[in-house]
Amino acid sequence: MRLSLRPLIPAVLTGVLVSLFLGAPAEAAPTGIPTKATAQTYLNALTVGAEANASTYDRDLFPHWITISGTCNTRETVLKRDGSNVVTSSACAATSGSWFSPYDGATWTAASDVDIDHVVPLAEAWRSGASAWTTAKRQLFANDLTRPQLIAVTDNVNQSKSDQDPSTWQPSVTSYRCTYARMWIAVKYYWALKLQSTEKTALQTMLNTCS
């Protein structure tokens, strides 16, 4: 995760201005987002338990980004998937395009303004059961393109979220919270990660907003 010194409010305002010029934004589109009913079933089945091993977390234990195809790694793959009119160099670096961040509603035209968010943060996964995994399994988790675990969003927003769960951080765009909850639940269910009681309560509240 890059450290950005650009203030969040000017960044969002810039994104809004860009949106006005570009028209309707392209929606980021992770795969595998379950329906409300399926997400509810998953949420009911998840184990509630206390976090553990927080002090032993190391981001390097979740190797990323890995090569996905040709010269393209996971980040570059998500940038192409979630962006609009993305042009890449021979090294697969995005040289132009636009990216809509559903967390805050901003649109960006420089890939450097966009982070790839792990919906369930790596540190959160570690505390919720991934500390017992092999490094190979953690690599699969950190680069999971099949579940709704990776999404392109505004860099400052991703950095503000950090390793928080939904009990302390939710997208500022309230209409996206239903989708965010379904994404989070799907990832935790597939990877058999625990929930904390406050996290489960927050996810249920968010899920209740789904139409």
Task: Tell me what the pLDDT averaged over the chain comes to.
Answer: 90
Please report, for the chain, the start and end positions of each structural domain, with discontinuous segments joined by +.
8-207
Q: With a cut of 90, say whether residue 5 has pLDDT above it.
A: no
Please state the three-class secondary structure of the chain as a single string. Answer: CCCCCCCHHHHHHHHHHHHHHHCCCCCCCCCCCCCHHHHHHHHHHCCECCCCCHHHCCHHHCCCCCEEECCEEHHHHHHHHHEEEEEECCCCCEEEEEEEECCCCEEECCHHHEEEEECCCHHHHHHCCHHHCCHHHHHHHHCCCCCCCEEEEEHHHHHHHCCCCCCCCCCCCHHHHHHHHHHHHHHHHHCCCCECHHHHHHHHHHHCCCC
Once rounded to an integer, what is the mean pLDDT over residues 70-76?
A: 97
Once rounded to an integer, what is the mean pLDDT over residues 180-204?
A: 98
**pTM here?**
0.87
